[in-house]
Amino acid sequence: MDSAELLDILGNENRRRILRLLSRKPCYVTEISEYLGVSPKAVIDHLRRLEDAGLVESRTDDQRRKYFSISRNLRLEVSVSPYEFGMKSAYPASANLDVSRCRYVSLDLQFGPESAESRGVNEGDDEGAKVDDSGSADDTDETNGAAVAAATDLADELDELQQLQRELSLAQRWVHGRIADVQARLSDALDADSEDRLHAEVLAAVAGGAATPTEVSRTVEAPKPVVEECLSELADRGFLERDGETEEWALAG
């Protein structure tokens, strides 16, 4: 799903309330309608839109009542600054993702991705399965003890992940502020008279390794002829150089 579609869906208070409710527990239409104080018909319309977008799914229980629940993991990020309006929606990265490959970020977690598989609920379940029907009260206690230990471990892990999430969010707010600051200074440095920020974006794209007009055009999301004009102007003013042979652009100096 693209970010625009997601924002259209989330730009409605009742749909947000439905999602919040479903994140607590799966519900059927009457429950949602009563909780929201909105007609069942309106709830059905919202649910249909959420289902069409793949955010919500339904299943039917033994009494043939249709339950709705959230079917998808996703994140949406929107950044607004005088120099940027960016939206990004993304599915979770794989649990096996090697975060240690990151160049600028490192995460220090007690519960690493390797350890996650070898611990937790499944272990507890297995131990539970081993207890035979004739099990004494002691066996039951042990099983319960294992289940409690597994659950409290998971609760600790969840707490750690949530703290990490808050720290990442703080780090991102910090980076966001820094980027807006550098963009303002770069815009001043390049183009004190004009308010057009494209020059700054093009320069940053070249600094980031975009070497051809096509690559720069893709990075800054501007048409190629506009980018080509901008590259020439930056070269005339001494900010950029073009390799005579490969015709690739690079920062001057």
User: In this structure, are residues 239 and 203 in contact, taking their beta carbons and an 8 Å threshold?
Assistant: yes
Exposure b/e, 35-61, CB count within 10 A at least 16 = b: ebebeeeebeebbebbeebebbeeeee
Toward a second copy, which CB reaches closer, 66 or 185?
185
Report, in Å, the least distance between residue 133 CB and a second copy.
Answer: 19
3-state secondary structure of 67: strand
Report, in Å, the least distance between residue 51 CB and a second copy.
Answer: 14
Q: Over the Cα atoms of the chain, what is R_g?
A: 27
Nearest C-alpha neighbor of 249 from the set 217, 220, 207: 207
Toward a second copy, which CB reaches closer, 146 or 228?
146
Toward a second copy, which CB reaches closer, 11 or 244?
11
Report, in Å, the least distance between residue 158 CB and a second copy.
Answer: 4
Nearest C-alpha neighbor of 185 from the set 170, 167, 200, 165: 200
Report, in Å, the least distance between residue 248 CB and a second copy.
Answer: 16
Toward a second copy, which CB reaches closer, 44 or 252?
252
Q: CA-CA-CA-CA torsion for 212, 218, 221, 227, nearest 10 degrees?
A: 20
- Could you report how far apart the first and last alpha carbons of the chain are, in Å? 43
Report, in Å, the least distance between residue 216 CB and a second copy.
Answer: 12
3-state secondary structure of 86: strand
Toward a second copy, which CB reaches closer, 244 or 253?
253
Report, in Å, the least distance between residue 33 CB and a second copy.
Answer: 18
Report, in Å, the least distance between residue 105 CB and a second copy.
Answer: 5
User: In this structure, are residues 247 and 253 in contact, taking their beta carbons and an 8 Å threshold?
Assistant: no
Exposure b/e, 196-214, CB count within 10 A at least 16 = b: ebbbbbbbbbbeeebbebe
Toward a second copy, which CB reaches closer, 44 or 189?
189
